Structure 1
Amino acid sequence: MVTSASPLIQPTKSRVVGKDLRALLGVEKVLDDVPALTAYAVDASIYRVPPQAVVLVESEDDITATVGYAVSRGIPLTPRAAGTNLTGSAIGSGIILDVSRMNRILEVNQEERWARVQPGIVLAELNKQLSSCGLLFGPDPSSGDMCKLGGMIANNSSGPHTLRYGSVKDNVQGLRLCLASSSWMEARSYALNDPTLERLLTSVPALRDVLVLTQAHAELIAAKQPTVSKNSCGYNLFGIADGLMRGAFDVPKLFVGSEGTLGIVSEATLMLMEKPAATLTALIHFRSLEEVGEAVPQLLTLQPSALEVMDANTLNLIGRGQHGIPADAAATLLVELDADSLDVDLHEKADAMRDICRRYKLASELTVAFDATQREQLWKARKALYPTLYRFDSRKKPINFVDDVVVPAERISELIRYLEEFFGGQEVPVAIFGHIGNGNAHIVPLLDVNDSGDFQKMVQAYQEIHATVLNRFGGSICGEHGDGRVRAEFVKTMFGEELYDLFVQVKHAFDPGHILNPGIKLSETPFTDHIDYTRLSKSCATCAKCNSVCPVYDVFQSEDMSARGWFEIVTAKDYSYLNSKRVVESCLNCKSCRTICPAGVDVSDLILKKRAEHPNRLAGWIFRSQARGATFGSCVRFLGRTQQIWDRPFVRKVIEWITAPLMKALAPTARFPHDLSLPKLAQQHLRERYAHLIP
């Protein structure tokens, strides 16, 4: 029954795109209904951009057909994996190409330590499979339990253990890509005198253009290369130039970190590492930021695999008392050291760390843990950060817009001091944390962007902090999260007009029609365009942690069949039960989303309330009948006694035909098939059969 509160949303012109794609790929691989477009309009960023259609690709043929169609029609094409990025690069106004169903591990070479995988494989699942071989893929972003390899390649992700493993660009041997021309390319590192390279340059003219361009502007590229240890801003011509100096054309370096703007990845060959034989974790509370700055270079001599920092503001936000953090701690360091073999004595390194720490007046004794459970306990405060930020204030939310700056590691305490003073002047709560060993700081202010004052503070902070990172610290505006929509307008400022023009030429060479993820990486559009002000006032952070435990998403691998997608669908201002019934009725109400959600959102409860507004009458009748024990028991006994009559092929076909409308009312796909093998129904209730046992 249609109520006035549930308007039927009419199809839009996007149906034309969906119709064309269904003809190309099949009905099951294309989505263009309102709920699906609503779910795919967001990722983990602050933006919302509704697409025209979504393609759930399952093969390279699907990718080829989709790319060819998008280019021929001039429709923007945005590749998407888990949608966990913070910059808005997984959403777009045209066609979303979701690679989640391409999620297989194709090959593992244990001896040579490499694996060939598809882009839809989840990092945690990949490492779970590799664990049995004693191997792992090193880069470990904090979203590792839900992020997928395609997105990691797009962003050049890294994580806490970058000191040991490097970023994705350091761990990719080869890529297989579909270009805007719909042709396919094998990208790997080629010796400049390799005949295979010449054939590749002939078949892919854009690649020759990049080679010539890089050689011709080698001095400019070298002069503009960031001197910090991490950078994902702009196209990585620096990696190409470094390779040429060694006599190699390292093609994957160009595509890793390009955010889907140059080609679509269908396979990646990854370099693997042996799992550490042993690990220690240490927690150090410093009384001053200056001492942190002095201690970091000394701690780096111990070759830590991870070196993380949380500043005083962050410690206040997560609750010092709750996590046993001293009141006078100005910053906390987490240090992790690995042993490649059991011959390495980590206790000696722990003693060396204690010697370093004795030079400072710590806020408390150094804590060292070797046991896995104890080490996990030391990480507890760091991992509690995001949940606390999401629940800190009902109006002010953690906003990612200056979240990924990099400065020289020895100057990060100076950066933190500057940031604390800057946001203190703005009277804005802020969490400052990150990978201090690389000088990579994550800055997350809490703002109400629907408030004009807070909005202006955001714009001011965006300009001033990025400019300060470049001019005062000689750093980078982007270490591991990608440029996306949020930093694209600042890329020209970071590298200057000349190098930016080279980036534009690279983009044009591979994508002359600007179809592949336009507006991402290179753009002059203000970062405030497409901010989703309505969503930023809601409780959900769209981080997708819920998707990692959602059993329905695990089966369908589609955003409209996921906890995050359902939240977007049922809280949309134009929500309609009639349009959304297909997806709303799919939730199993398992509560896994509520358990894992950093913000404490219970998506299943929202779904149940929406269902309650439109109860299923047939289902209600069935459950009421069950509640009447005597009546229900009589019906079952009757069916049992007459089963020999009605459970025959011809009669079953008649029953299937008669019950079809009733079953459809129960659920769109429900039916009582005539060839379904049924158990023999009891002719007596257990109470009747064993009456003598009942007192």
Structure 2
Amino acid sequence: MSLPAAFLTAVERLIPRERRFDDPLSTLAFGTDASFYRLIPKLVVRVESEAEVVALLQLAQAERVPVTFRAAGTSLSGQAISDSVLIVLGDNWNGRDIREGGTQIRLQPGVIGAQANAWLAPFGRKIGPDPASINACKIGGIVANNASGMCCGTAQNSYQTLAGLRLVLADGSVLDTEDAASVAAFEQHHAALLEQLAELGRETRANPELAAKIRHKYRLKNTTGLSLNTLVDYDRPLDILSHLMVGSEGILGFISAVTYDTVPDHPHKASALIVFPTVETCCQAVPVLKRQPVSAVELLDRRSLRSVQNMAGMPAWVKDLSGQACALLIESRAASQSLLHEQLAQIMASLAEFPVEKQVDFSEDPLVYNQLWRIRKDTFPAVGAARETGTTVIIEDVTFPVERLAAGVNCLLALFDKHGYAEAIIFGHALEGNLHFVFTQGFDDPAQVARYAAFMDDVAQLVAVEFGGSLKAEHGTGRNMAPFVELEWGSDAYQLMWRIKTLLDPAGILNPDVQLSRNAQIHLKHLKPLPAADAIVDKCIECGFCEPVCPSKGLTLSPRQRIVIWRDIQAKRRAGEDTTQLERDYQYQGLDTCAATGLCAQRCPVNINTGDLVRQLRAEQATHQRTATWLAEHFHTAMQGTRAALHAANGARLLLGAPLLAKTSDVLRRWSGNQLPQWTPAMPQPLRLATPPAPVADARPRVVYLAACVSRAMGPAAGDAEQVPLFTKTRQLLEKAGFQVVFPDHQDALCCGQPFASKGYPAQAEAKKQELVAALLKASRGGLDPVYCDTSPCTLRLLQDGLDPRLQLHDPVKFIREQLLERLEFSPQQQPVAVHVTCSTQHLGEAQGLIDIVRRCTREVVIPEGIHCCGFAGDKGFTTPELNDHALRTLKDAVQTCTEGISTSRTCEIGLSSHSGIDYHGLVYLVDRVTRPKAAP
């Protein structure tokens, strides 16, 4: 059914067109969350204020239109999808208020969990919840799902650490529990509602059997159904209401802000891995450890260890473990190292009597404990990467009473065998009896769906009835456990949940069929297809972990959404459907506005680089092979053309003035179909290099200077305070440090191939790369001398897919870090400096190195929040400037205390300068300014 016309008309008046989406591409893209369900919304609305949420809910209430809220869409159980109206958070939900030395923090729902912890880190604090998705999930979802994690347990989740809440109910009414005026107004206008909640609490506490059951259920980790514990924990109706919102999965209202009591984030930690010979001995150790000073105890069964044993970097002994082995990964944290050592001795003493098959002792070495935690963290993606194309990965989330944990594990293993899930693995948070089991499942034929249905029936019976456990410990009930809530809780508690739902959402418009459903088969409806699309992306599990680092998210599509749409296009093609319009829309949304920098791969659990797919599709469209070949073979001429174009632009600036030229170039760019570049005041002036001197025979160490083509063609902008070109500044710094700088022959004809690769001409790109490698080998005397490349993207391009092992190639950060720090005396400046860590610097593993160098140079370093990629992407800042605009929309406010910015990519610096109001320069400018040569010993 379509949405009511009156509702649509009202929404059109309320929400601007650019924040309303009803076209097939957008609704499909937003119809995907991290779960294995899919609903296609009829309308997607991006909201930027609480007032808009209030108005939308009032309209939805009046017209009986179902709505669903979404923050990050990392929910695993189908909580964040809708076939009606999907309300997603825009940019303006990132507010925070740190209070009382970090002991409290108030957050809006759009804040990513890891960002909240970054804000709290200087205070030695963090929020209590620590879900595995904390780098992507947002506070709204963390609270709405009562998400927890490896260290959180039941004592530090959102329910237990909640200090205040601002919420919007289904009728549009607002309550802020920390605002006395808001509370008074709410109590006046909603007295009947509050009295009914108070009465529900009194009834529940007066029912000894029900009250005891609720207390027992929340002794365990439990997110099945509504948070009934609030009815026995609190008698004040406002407290009952605010705590009911925790874990309500959007079925009771919208969480507009939350205040947490934070918890200590101890700086000293150590981890150990203890492998026991059997599941029984492993699980018997858990209650013992629960009494010890441990912060996390993670269980890994033999199947999960087997899933990662062949991964690079895994200890060789993992392959040799016995068939029944079961491991515990143990972490302890403390405020001081001496206290930590006391704790470690106490922990190991408590395990002295247990038989052990293999043991990695406690280590404080980051290399050791990170490797141990990698074993745990790689188990889920290992199953995902090994699954058959067309199947999905399902991760379930149950709790057994800790005292019966071994029996629970063995019963689950038996169910895997019974239903034919040979690949299934078990791992989890042992201290709470919380186990995750991961398996692969196809939904493309009725037999597979029937197998899944039978398996879930058995799991529900096993966990909820036979063991009295929780069917959902921390992932939320969603759609996949909604039919089993009554089985777990019993009729009285289940009807109590429905009474609460009806009381707070009488029209039933909030997230229907999530958590509570009258449809006993809802967990088998709307199952998401994952059709084959391309080998590059077929392993995608649509988790959304990639999205926070994508510069086009919110402008067009995110990596997850690019894959979703390409899968759909391929499936429709195979079915013989017309995809012309969808592909036309995808051209801009999916291809033209993708920066293709590959940061998504760093966040992806299965290492998918969506940029690789985009480059491949661009290559299929590339129709100017001869032109590309000619440019590759006559690159010197192309460089002259670039300089001529910059000369023309500079002349136009002098003639027309900067403001008029900017407006004129924007019109011409649009008229040309993005073929002509966008001019900005940060546009470089042309640079013509003098012939470099020949090398001389002296005692100085030699370095081969590879100047990128952009460094050879582009000088500073006319208005830049620094008028020395990067090429000259780099040479000056290297010579200051005592190096003789030499250059490859015919350098103006050389190129790493990146411009050709990004445009879809891989053959020409590879030819240029090999030509450059040969020139560098000659200049470096067969690899004897190090090579300094002044632009990090070119360095990365040369290193990708292998580089001649004789070459010692350095980007600016690595060379300064390894070669110059010991040769230069630093005198830090007082002025703060903004740092942009380019995508290539991140890929090269030099992000921290860059920040550390800048910290040597200045008293204050500013790293803008939430900007992972500038979106300039080679030349896209010229041809698709809206991508750069969108990626850097928050930059100016973030760097307003700075007078200079630092980066390692000349083209990135053009966009950064344009959007920040300050000049961005290469790292060498800052290093040169604050250093002098060290005196000889």
Aligning the two structures, in what range does the TM-score lie when normalised by the shorter sequence? Answer: 0.7 to 0.9
Is 2:220 the counterpart of 1:243? no
CA separation of 1:579/1:622 partners in 2, compared to 1, >3 Å: closer, same or farther?
A: farther
SS at match of 1:413: helix
| Matched position secondary structure for 1:404 | strand
Find 1:580's aligned residue among 578, 586, 595: 586
Cα–Cα, structure 1 residues 242 and 627, in superposed 2: closer, same or farther, change >3 Å? same
Structure-2 change in CA distance of 1:333 and 1:73 (3 Å): same
CA apart distance, 1:166: 2.4
Deviations along 1:260-318, one digit per CA (max 9) or x if unpaired, are 11111111111111221422212110001111232111111113211110112222222
Say if 1:648 and 1:164 are closer, same or farther in 2 by CA, change over 3 A: same
CA 1:272/1:641 → structure 2, altered by over 3 Å: closer, same or farther?
A: closer
Describe the SS at the equivalent of 2:283: helix
Q: Is the 8 A contact 1:311 1:332 kept in 2?
A: yes
Question: How far, CA to CA, are the matches of 2:348 and 2:164 in structure 1?
Answer: 42
Moved more, 435-444 or 648-657: 648-657
Q: 2:213 — aligned with what?
A: 224
Q: Distance in 2 between matches of 1:168 and 1:642?
A: 56
Q: Distance in 1 between matches of 2:289 and 2:69?
A: 40
Q: 2:657 & 2:120 partners in 1: Cα distance?
A: 53
Q: Which residue of 2 aligns with 1:533?
A: 529
Residue pair 1:135, 1:275 contacting (<8 A) in 2 also: yes
Q: Give the match for residue 424 of structure 1.
A: 417
Letter in 1 for 2:347: M
Is this contact kept in 2: 1:187–1:251, CA < 8 A?
no
Cross-structure match for 1:336? 331
Which residue type is aligned with residue 232 of structure 2? Answer: A
Do 1:433 and 1:441's aligned partners in 2 also have CA atoms closer than 8 Å? yes
**Max Rg structure:** 2
* Structure 2 match to 1:56: 46
**Residues in 1 aligned to 2:277 and 2:648: alpha-carbon distance in whole angstroms:** 82
Q: Partner amino acid for 1:517?
A: N
Deviation, 1:621, is 9.6
Matches of residues 369-408 of structure 1 in structure 2 within 5 Å? 369-395=363-389, 397=391, 399-400=393-394, 403-408=396-401
d(CA) in 2 for partners of 1:663 and 1:607?
23
Residue 189 of structure 2 aligns with which residue? 203
CA distance in 2, matches of 1:588, 1:195: 48
**CA displacement, residues 316-345 of structure 1 (integer Å, 9 cap, x when unaligned):** 22227944324125211011122245562x
Give TM-score, length-normalised by structure 1: 0.86
Which of 502, 516, 519 is residue 496 of structure 2 equivalent to?
A: 502
Aligned sequence identity (%): 26
Task: Give CA deviations for 1:6-56 in whole Å, capped at 9, x if unaligned.
Answer: xxxxxx989997665342122332222332212111111001111122222
In structure 2, do the counterparts of structure 1 residues 98 and 479 end up closer, same or farther at CA, with 3 Å as the change threshold? same
Q: Secondary structure at the match of 2:297?
A: strand
Paired AA for residue 213 in structure 1:
L
Report if the CA contact (8 A) 1:389-1:397 is conserved: no
**Selected match of 1:306 from 296, 301, 323:** 296
282, 303, 311: which one pairs with 2:272?
A: 282
**TM-score, L = length of structure 2:** 0.65
Change (3 A) 1:320 1:352: farther
1:570 aligns with one of 566, 569, 576: 566
Would the aligned equivalents of 1:46 and 1:532 in 2 still touch at CA under 8 Å? yes
Aligned-partner SS, 1:115: strand
Question: What is the letter of the counterpart of residue 231 of structure 1?
Answer: N
Can you give the 5+ residue segments of structure 1 that lack an aligned partner in the other structure? Answer: 1-11
Q: 2:7, 2:63 within 8 Å by CA — same for their partners in 1?
A: no
Q: Distance in 1 between matches of 2:250 and 2:237?
A: 27
The alpha carbon displacement at 1:362 in A equals 0.8
| Cα offset, 1:259, TM superposition | 0.4
Q: 1:262 to 1:21 in 2, by over 3 A?
A: same
- Tell me the equivalent position of 1:98: 88
Q: Following the alignment from structure 1 to structure 2, what is the Cα–Cα distance between the partners of residues 59 and 515?
A: 20
- Structure 2 distance, partners of 1:343, 1:301, is 20
Which of 140, 144, 153 matches 1:150? Answer: 140
* Cα-to-partner distance string for 1:145-193 (whole Å, 9 max, x where unaligned): 11111100110011010248522211111110111111101246x9xxx
* SS of structure 2 residue aligned to 1:308: strand
The residue matched to 2:359 in structure 1 has which SS?
A: coil
Q: Does structure 1 retain, via aligned residues, the 8 Å contact 2:384–2:606?
A: yes
Alignment partner of 1:410 out of 386, 389, 403: 403
Larger RCO (alpha carbons 8 Å, 6+ apart): 1
Matched-pair contact (CA < 8 Å) for 1:53–1:94: yes
Q: 1:583-594 maps to which residues of 2 (within 5 A)?
A: 583-584=589-590, 585-594=592-601
Cα gap change, 1:214 to 1:462, in 2 (>3 Å): same
Q: How many angstroms does 1:594 deviate by?
A: 2.8
2:736 is aligned to none
Q: 2:362 matched to which residue of 1?
A: 368
CA displacement at 1:200 relative to structure 2 = 3.7
Deviation at 1:348, TM superposition (A): 2.9
The whole-number CA distance in structure 1 between the counterparts of 2:692 and 2:371 is 56
Aligned-partner SS, 1:285: strand
Is contact 2:175-2:182 (8 Å) kept? no
SS at 2:427 equivalent: strand
> Which stretch shifts more, 382-391 or 28-37?
28-37
Asked if the contact 2:429/2:435 (under 8 Å) is kept, the reply is yes
Q: Using the alignment, how far apart are the partners of 1:119 and 1:642 within structure 2?
A: 45
Contact 1:76 1:515 in 2 (8 A): yes
1:350 aligns with 2:344: yes
Distance in 1 of aligned mates of 2:666 and 2:516: 58
Q: Which amino acid aligns with 1:570?
A: W
1:427-576 to 2 correspondences below 5 Å: 427-429=420-422, 430-525=424-519, 526=521, 527-535=523-531, 538-553=538-553, 556=554, 560-573=556-569, 574=572, 576=582
Aligned to 2:283: 293
Q: Tell me which amino acid in the other structure corresponds to 2:595.
A: L
Secondary structure of the residue aligned to 1:176 is: strand
CA distance in 1, matches of 2:251, 2:445: 34
**Partners of 2:455 and 2:175 in 1: CA distance:** 42
1:650 shift after superposition? 9.7
Which string of whole-angstrom CA distances, capped at 9 and with x for unpartnered residues, describes residues 409-448 of structure 1? Answer: 1211110011111212223121111111101111222233
- Contact 1:164-1:305 at 8 Å conserved across structures: no
Letter paired with 1:222? A
| Gap runs ≥5 in structure 2 | 573-578, 695-742, 747-937
Q: CA RMSD, aligned part only? A: 3.7
Task: State the secondary structure of the residue aligned to 1:269.
Answer: strand
For the 8 Å contact 1:289–1:413, the answer to whether it is kept is yes
1:183-231 deviation per Cα after TM superposition (whole angstroms, max 9, x unaligned): 101246x9xxx99977644422433322212212331541431444211
Whole-angstrom distance in 2 between the partners of 1:639 and 1:109: 51
Report SS of the residue matched to 2:479. helix
SS in 2 for 1:47: coil
Aligned length in residues: 668
- Partner AA of 2:332 in structure 1: L
CA–CA separation in structure 1 for the residues paired with 2:628 and 2:659: 23
Change (3 A) 1:628 1:420: closer
Q: Which residue of 2 aligns with 1:603?
A: 610
* Bigger mean CA deviation after superposition, 444-453 or 639-648: 639-648
- Amino acid across the alignment from 1:508: T
**More deviation, 472-481/216-225:** 216-225
Checking the alignment, whether the CA contact within 8 Å between 1:14 and 1:52 is kept in structure 2 is no
Q: Which amino acid aligns with 1:380?
A: R
Which of 230, 243, 257 is equivalent to 1:253? Answer: 243
Aligned AA for 1:529? K
CA distance in 1, matches of 2:436, 2:483: 19
